[in-house]
Chain A
């Protein structure tokens, strides 16, 4: 790459505050055009209209990630005046935080090197004493691992010691390093084979010891570690996609007010904050995690038990009443009690047909507890059903594409409309699906929102969007009639679609702005 190219690259990489470009809203396809021209300067991929809650981001390729590393290494190499390999190892140890590395390095260069596993041979980080070089000794060298003897000449060519002086034969080194890379997936932290020695095996000897396949895998692992170490990078989670999203506007501490939804070059959405493989707007990552956990674990089974069963007041066995009278006898401990008031049956005397001990204290506590639990379960189910319903509908809508396609062809032939004229149907399906995903998450949000005036506003927006979506969905399912009907349907769908889009924007806008204005309170 020429120096010109590198400068350009640097510009792209450094400048994250590039303003919103009004040209960009023409269409998404301009991006792929630009890509075709120069892969090294990816266009800033922004949604058509930049909102205050949107983040700037770029989609990177593996090559760009490698170039970023080379650039960092070069920078550190010249700053600290160390070899490139050393600079890379240092950077990996400090998780590519070059400020921290420089600070520690200038503070105490030896300590920085030692902790990164680059200690000089005499350093205390190696627990065992450095061995005298076998090259000087007249006796043959025996590899302590495979117990093979090496003559003086062979020792020079067939054995290897790192700076720590622990010498082993090349065969053992290869076996060890290949095992670490291929079976354990280690890369930047492979240590000397000596017990307790923390000397790092650097890239140079590894590349020399292993075959090119393993070397490739090793460098892949190094790149992966680079991406996971950098807070501004995240792998696209979609299967088969090898792109990396770069975004420096959504650090962990901002995730309480931002939902950094981004679109990868593979066409799929993801959340940059938590890696959720789809948009979960308008809900923040933390709440999504709670919701997922709640839906996944069987805490709700426990809730069901609480709502539908009672515990024997003596031995605490769980009892489900399966009919019969209120005179309960625990099968386990033979305790007799009243199902209605939970008090001991003996206090009921002969009035078994009607519980006259309703106000008794212990019984009433028990009942309150039971009622509360039932209520909480009902509340959860209310929101969960709506959440799940929208998810299900969004999936069905995707199938809808096919039937819409058919209708579009039908329209083209029967109503003599051009291809471009029938695109409204496809766009309408897209609008419905996007709105459903947002609606789905809005129910998760509503479940955790603390009830206040703001919540009512939120629910109004939610209701309006839901109504608009259902109307549009219904229109899309209509059969196509004659020419006149098609024109009418087209008009209807286009209008409704625009309305859904508007309601969608309003809900999203208000909710996401609400985070920035600290309007939402959650009960967790």
Chain B
């Protein structure tokens, strides 16, 4: 059946290249037809708009009877995507897989996952907490990530401007979805900045949630 696998993957790559409307691309990275890179633009009207997302595609021996293995190469701030590894939590990549699904249809599903997060079934619990407790803050952090990692334009209205050229640099606190005030509050006590950011992120020290967290609990975590 490995012939069938090769035939099918080649056909999928061909078909995808022919299709100009979907904006989905699938390309080989080396000579291996079973290790591919897929890419698609961030869906409009989301924090990911304007970004360009690359996905690592590994085709198992048993494809298409077993699901394809996919993970984001581009860093994404999203409840169903690990912010560290790019691992994705999506039903069709697991038990809802069907052999008739294709690489392209799976990439389209990833695109719509960016549009509609499923925070009840998170891959990244910290991001999901942020998403659930402070939506505005989440959106702004996701935008920062899109700009920093997915080449999304900094100001949407200015269209062509890319990268951070000439604009205010995004701080590490903002990238973690934390307010500068919260971070400096603990940094001023003498703790190291990366440690403060990691602890506050883990504790979801954001927005209204700050009032639920005892300062001593934060200190306890920082001492660990």
Contacts and interface: CB of A to CB of B under 8 A. Distances in A.
Nearest to A174: B1
A175 B3 CA distance: 13
Contacts of B219: 315
Contacts of A194: 98, 100
Nearest to A178: B65
A195 B66 contact: no
Contacts of A193: 98-100
Interface stretch (A145-153, A253-261, A276-284): A145-153
5 contacts: A145-B8, A147-B8, A175-B65, A195-B100, A195-B101
Interface in A306-340: 315-317, 332-333
Given A147-B11, A179-B62, A179-B66, A195 B4 contact: no
A196 interface: yes
Interface string B144-167: 000000000000000000000000
A197 B99 CA distance: 12
Interface in B87-113: 92, 96, 98-101
Interface of B: 1, 4, 7-8, 11, 62, 64-66, 92, 96, 98-101, 219-220, 223
B65 A179 contact: yes
A176 B99 contact: yes
B34 to A, nearest CB: 16
A172 interface: yes
A48 interface: no
B216 to A, nearest CB: 8
Nearest to B92: A195
Contacts of A166: 100
Contacts of A171: 1, 4
A144 interface: yes
Most chain-B Cβ atoms within 10 A of its Cβ — which of A172, A315, A317, A332?
Answer: A172
A315 B220 CA distance: 7
A195 B11 CA distance: 19
Interface in A192-215: 193-197
B208 to A, nearest CB: 26
B65 A146 contact: no
Contacts of B100: 144-145, 166, 193-195
Contacts of B64: 145
Contacts of B62: 179
Contacts of B223: 315, 317, 332-333
Interface in A60-78: none
A316 B220 contact: yes
Contacts of A147: 4, 7-8, 11
A503 B222 CA distance: 60
A101 B118 CA distance: 35
Given A179-B65, A195-B101, A148 B220 contact: no
Most chain-A Cβ atoms within 10 A of its Cβ — which of B64, B98, B101, B219?
Answer: B98
Given A176-B99, A179-B66, A194-B98, A146 B8 contact: yes
A449 to B, nearest CB: 39
Closest 10 CB pairs of A and B: A195-B98, A146-B4, A193-B99, A147-B11, A179-B65, A145-B99, A147-B8, A176-B65, A195-B100, A144-B100
A333 B223 CA distance: 9
Nearest to B7: A147
Most chain-B Cβ atoms within 10 A of its Cβ — which of A147, A168, A197?
Answer: A147
B29 to A, nearest CB: 23
A195 B1 CA distance: 21
A147 B99 CA distance: 12
A146 B220 contact: no
B221 to A, nearest CB: 11
Nearest to A179: B65
A423 to B, nearest CB: 58
A176 B98 CA distance: 10
Contact of B98 (A146, A179, A196, A315): A196
B217 to A, nearest CB: 10
B4 A148 contact: yes
Contact of B7 (A148, A168, A179): A148
Nearest to B217: A316
A333 B224 CA distance: 12
Interface string A162-197: 000010100110011001000000000000011111
A308 B92 CA distance: 51
B126 to A, nearest CB: 24
B197 to A, nearest CB: 22
Contacts of A316: 220
A413 B62 CA distance: 69
Contacts of A176: 65, 99
A331 to B, nearest CB: 11
A332 B219 CA distance: 12
A246 to B, nearest CB: 33
B98 A172 contact: no
Contacts of A315: 219-220, 223
Given A195-B92, A333-B223, 8 more contacts: A145-B8, A146-B7, A147-B4, A147-B8, A147-B11, A315-B219, A315-B223, A332-B223
B116 to A, nearest CB: 18
Nearest to B105: A195
A316 B219 CA distance: 11
A226 B18 CA distance: 50
A171 B62 CA distance: 13
B55 to A, nearest CB: 19
A176 to B, nearest CB: 5
Given A145-B64, A316-B220, A175 B7 contact: no
Contacts of B96: 195
Contacts of A317: 223
Contacts of B7: 146-148
Interface string A462-480: 0000000000000000000
